[in-house]
A = this chain, B = another copy of it.
Amino acid sequence: TKTYNICLLPGDGIGPEIIAEGVKVLDAAGAKYDTAFSYTEALLGGCAIDACGTALPDETLRVAEASDAVLLAAVGGPKWDTTDPAKPRPEQGLLGIRKALGLYTNLRPVQIFNALADASTLKPEIVDGVDMMIVRELTGGLYFGRRERFYDEDGCGTSGAAGQRAYDTLEYREYEVERIARQAFEAARKRRNKVTSVDKANVLETSRMWREIVHRVGAEEYPDVELEDLLVDNTAMQLISRPVDFDVVVTENMFGDILSDEAAQITGSLGMLASASLGDGTALYEPSHGSAPDIAGRGIANPLAQILSVEMMLRYSFDMNEAADDIRRAVTAVLDEGWRTGDIKQVDTPADKIVGTVAMGDLVVSHL
């Protein structure tokens, strides 16, 4: 029996409830394929601020680095919302662990489960067959560039008035663009062989550099993969006008944040979407949705995105593709049988088919 060490980061809000279902499914899948998982829980986000005064305690990073994979639920909540730069914020935990583990690739698959196709606010003929992979650069750009706020006594001559000034820096280096481009081309080779590279090359210097490097990597190393460029504003339109046409979409950190959420919303069921954050060492898996503090502790949260993040873990960290396929099949079967959590219930869902977090986890396990 092979054993993997998993770092569990339940985080805040519904986090602890859904991660328990992820663990349940991971154990069940492991049992079937003669693999054992051992778990170490650690603090990240708001709960870490409350306990240790920082969103990413050293101990958490130590546990994560020593693990074979990290399973995260979600962090944040109104309790810790602040614009005071002196106060710690839950997101710093998320951003900190991404940077510390070098998780430069964020993979966000966007697919429609047939049973939930009508959840989309888009017309059925538009979303039918949507299957794309957003590849978001995760450790560069505006998220990690130099930033500052200060009081400018003389307004720098631009306006008469003195006042506050602030800046953030969008910065990229050649190797950062190269490596994320390779991830996108590799992903495309396992899919429909097409990459859409998104930038704002008509305005940004980083985008012009991005475009040149992506094309060089494509021409030199992946001449078999189709490559197109699309401006970010145009992409925001095309994602909702012809989502089926996208295969792999690769873009920088902030554009990726915006576009991956837009793409997720196309499905109409954010509670079903998982993501993987990969680097050169330990990888991290999490749902695409947030910590939903409004429904925390009530046992009604949808654990399926967390369970599908376990599917991605099996695929990307442990090469257990059969086990991963089993989980996806199980989730599909549970949905096809009509079982729903509150967030994905439909107008015609009978009351006795609406289940809570634990029951949904049990249903998936029973189909494995």
Contact = CB atoms under 8 A, between A and B. Distances in A.
A330 interface: no
Given A158-B173, A159-B173, A236-B265, A205 B168 contact: yes
A359 interface: no
Which of A121, A232, A264, A265 has the most chain B CB within a 10 Å cutoff? A121
Given A233-B257, A258-B258, A204 B147 contact: yes
The number of times this chain is found in the oligomer is: 2
Interface string A123-162: 1001000000000000000110101110010011011010
Nearest to A172: B166
Contacts of A262: 236-237, 239-240, 262
B172 A205 contact: no
Q: Sort chain A's interface into a size bin.
A: 35 or more
Contacts of A167: 145, 169-172, 205-206
A178 to B, nearest CB: 8
Interface stretch (A15-23, A207-215, A302-310, A319-327): A207-215
A259 interface: yes
A236 B265 CA distance: 8
B205 A85 contact: yes
A340 interface: no
Contact of A268 (B85, B172, B241, B259): B241
A194 interface: no
Given A167-B171, A200-B257, 8 more contacts: A122-B240, A147-B205, A148-B205, A159-B175, A164-B174, A200-B254, A236-B265, A258-B258
